[in-house]
Structure formats: structure tokens, C-alpha cells
């Protein structure tokens, strides 16, 4: 699986490409600049699931360049702690912060999602967008989410669940993975519209890459070619869960 350093090299290419930003950010506010495949309506569903109140703390595991987490924190007027293994992504996230001036507090740290170094029970909610399938020790990431959550705190996670010929990195049993970590799973909802958008983006990247000259767009096109091999063996999902203990008054 890609390391933080490998993601650093990617982010250096992707940050230099307006075409890449336009492709992957299609339909989202420009300042969000995701490196993920959740549409704006999907971020709104994630926001609903997190059920944050103003002033509460959201931890974003694998925050990338910060935009999706900052958007969520802005909508909820919540505080944000973003964690990512890529130094380049975290540097970009720190620079992006000023584009979300109503977020009451945001900070970003370079760390592994399974060993964040953050204090126990620091989060009212944890979000992770398109990260789990990239992580070597997925049970450890789930346990870390439980450790970070306050009693009753909510988790929203977007990923792909694999079966059959899907690469091993795609989790086979998300409900079991999260339950084994100590979470109560509320729902695993398949998101066909998100998947359609993802493959549409790959198709547009493939067409744009034919002109050549933009390594970031070529990265996206290459990812799309690889994805064709496992497309029918994964399902695109939003997973919601919560910490099993009752919320403290
Ligand atoms: C597909 S990107 C998603 C980024 C962000 N959530 C977004 O929506 O734009 C996956 C991110 O996970 C990070 N990542 C992958 N494995 C990680 C790990 N083990 N620990 C911390 N971050 C990791 C990568 O550096 C990358 O920024």
C-alpha cells in the first residue's frame, strides 16, 4: 500500500494541475479540492450522520488536503483535527484553512491513522473519507477510531467493500471489522450514484490524458484503468457507527 512519502509525490503532482482538481472536484466547491470520490450530496449525508453540534470536535482520519473535513466542520460550526501520513497534504491543509474562516478551530497533524497520538476520547465524531482501503492494518485503524471517540460519539466512513476477485486491500466484512473494534454499526449503505460519478471521472480523465502532458491527469486515468479490473467486485459504501457507551451528560 502507498506510504506517506508516496502520497507526498502524488500530491506534488496533483496540486500542480488545475485539470486534475476540476476532474476530481466536479460538483464540489473549488476550495474543497478533495482527493476522493464523494459527491457534494454524499458529504451532506456524512454531515447528517456525524450529527455534530456547534463547538464539538471532529477528527478526520486521512484528511488529505483538508477540504472535505473543513467543509464538514464549517457546516456544523465544529472544531476540526485532521490527521494524514502525507506531509505535503498536511501542509496544503494548513494553507487551505483560511478559506473556511467560520470554522472555530482547525489543526492538522502528520501521523498514521492507526496511531494518531491524539488524546483518548477527544472526538465527538470521527470521519474518514476514502482512506480505510489504503491502510495496512485496518483493524488497528478501527480501534483507533474507538479510542478517539467520546462515549456515544459517531463515526462516518466512506470506502469500498470487496468480494471475489477484488484486491485484498478492500475490506471484505466492514460490519465485522468495526464490531470487532468495539463499535456499534448503524448502517452500511451502498452508494451507486457515487460509484457512477467515480467511473465518469475516470472516463473524462482517460479522454483528457490522450492529449498528454499532464502527469496528474495521467495518474487519474491510470487509476481508472486499474479500477476496471475490480469494478464489479466492490461496492461503494457509506458506513455509519457509534461508540457503544452512552453519551455523558
Ligand atoms: C484518497 S485520499 C483521501 C483524502 C481526503 N480524505 C479527501 O477526501 O480528500 C487518502 C488519504 O489517506 C492518507 N493515508 C493513506 N494511508 C494512511 C495511513 N496509514 N495513515 C494516515 N494517512 C493515510 C493519504 O496520505 C491520503 O491523503
62 lines ligand 1 (CB under 6 A): yes
Residue 179 Cα to ligand 1 middle (Å): 23
Average pLDDT, the chain: 96
Residue 201 domain boundaries: 4-226+235-241
Residue with the smallest CA separation from ligand 1 atom 12 is 62
**Ligand 1: which of 71, 114, 131 to mutate, most ligand atoms within 8 Å of CB?**
131
The arithmetic mean of pLDDT across residues 223-238, rounded, is 95
Q: Is residue 83 part of a domain?
A: yes
How far apart CA 129 and CA 43 sit, in angstroms, is: 9
In a domain, 181, yes or no: yes
212 pLDDT tier (thresholds 50, 70, 90): confident
Closest ligand 1 atom, residue 128 Cα? 6
Question: 59-107: per-residue pLDDT in tens?
Answer: 999 999 999 999 999 999 999 999 999 999 999 999 999 999 999 999 9
Residue 201 counted as domain residue: yes
Range with lowest mean pLDDT among 1-10, 32-41, 42-51, 53-62? 1-10
Q: Is the CB of 113 under 6 A from ligand 1?
A: yes
CB-facing half-sphere around the CA of 25: CA atoms within 13 A: 18
Q: Would you state the cell numbers that stand for residue 125, as one nine-digit string?
A: 465524531
Angstrom distances, CA of residue 199 to CA of 6, 40, 50, 144, 173: 24, 16, 27, 31, 24
Residue nearest (by alpha carbon) to ligand 1 atom 14: 62
* Residue 249 domain-assigned (yes or no): no
Residue 66 lies in a domain: yes
Label residue 249 by pLDDT band (50, 70, 90).
low
Place of cell 448502517: 187
| Domain membership flag for residue 248 | no
Q: Is the CB of 36 under 6 A from ligand 1?
A: yes
Q: Answer yes or no: is the C-beta of 66 below 6 A from any ligand 1 atom.
A: no
CATH number reported for the structural domain that contains residue 110 in this entry: 3.40.50.150
pLDDT band at 1 (very low <50, low <70, confident <90, very high): low
Q: Is residue 35 part of a domain?
A: yes
* pLDDT tens track for 141-167: 999 999 999 999 999 999 999 999 999
Binding site membership of 43 for ligand 1 (Cβ less than 6 Å): no
The three cell numbers locating residue 148: 478517539
Which residues lie across from 24 on neighbouring strands? none
Contact 82, 69 (CB under 8 A): yes
134 lines ligand 1 (CB under 6 A): yes
State mean pLDDT over 214-238. Answer: 95
Ligand 1: residue whose CA is nearest its atom 5: 64
Q: Is residue 247 part of a domain?
A: no
At 121, the pLDDT band (50, 70, 90 cuts) reads very high
92 lines ligand 1 (CB under 6 A): no
What's the total number of domains in the chain? 1
Instruction: Please indicate whether residue 198, judged by its CB atom, sits closer than 6 Å to ligand 1.
Output: no
Looking at residue 246, its pLDDT comes to: 80
* pLDDT tens-place string over residues 18-29: 999 999 999 999
Amino acid at each position: 500500500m502507498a506510504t506517506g512519502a508516496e502520497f507526498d509525490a502524488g500530491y506534488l503532482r496533483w496540486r500542480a494541475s488545475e485539470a486534475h482538481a476540476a476532474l476530481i472536484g466536479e460538483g464540489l466547491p473549488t476550495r474543497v479540492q478533495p482527493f476522493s470520490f464523494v459527491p457534494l450530496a454524499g458529504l451532506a449525508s456524512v454531515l447528517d450522520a456525524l450529527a455534530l453540534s456547534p463547538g464539538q470536535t471532529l477528527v478526520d482520519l486521512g484528511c488529505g488536503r483538508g477540504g472535505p473535513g473543513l467543509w464538514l466542520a464549517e457546516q456544523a460550526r465544529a472544531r476540526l483535527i485532521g490527521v494524514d501520513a502525507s506531509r505535503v497534504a498536511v501542509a496544503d491543509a494548513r494553507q487551505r484553512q483560511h478559506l473556511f474562516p467560520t470554522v472555530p478551530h482547525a489543526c492538522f497533524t502528520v501521523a498514521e491513522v492507526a496511531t494518531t497520538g491524539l488524546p483518548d476520547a477527544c472526538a465527538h465524531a470521527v470521519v474518514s473519507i476514502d482512506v480505510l482501503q489504503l491502510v495496512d492494518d485496518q483493524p488497528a485503524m478501527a480501534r483507533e477510531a474507538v479510542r478517539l471517540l467520546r462515549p456515544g460519539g459517531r463515526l462516518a466512513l466512506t470506502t469500498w467493500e470487496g468480494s471475489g476477485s477484488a484486491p485484498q486491500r478492500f475490506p471484505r466484512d466492514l460490519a465485522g471489522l468495526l464490531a470487532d473494534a468495539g463499535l456499534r454499526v448503524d448502517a452500511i449503505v451502498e452508494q451507486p450514484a457515487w460509484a457512477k460519478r467515480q467511473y465518469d471521472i475516470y472516463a473524462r480523465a482517460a479522454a483528457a490524458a490522450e492529449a498528454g502532458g499532464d502527469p496528474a491527469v495521467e495518474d487519474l486515468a491510470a487509476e481508472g484503468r486499474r479500477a476496471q479490473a475490480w469494478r464489479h467486485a466492490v461496492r461503494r459504501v457509506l458506513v455509519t457507527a457509534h461508540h457503544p457507551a452512552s453519551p455523558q451528560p
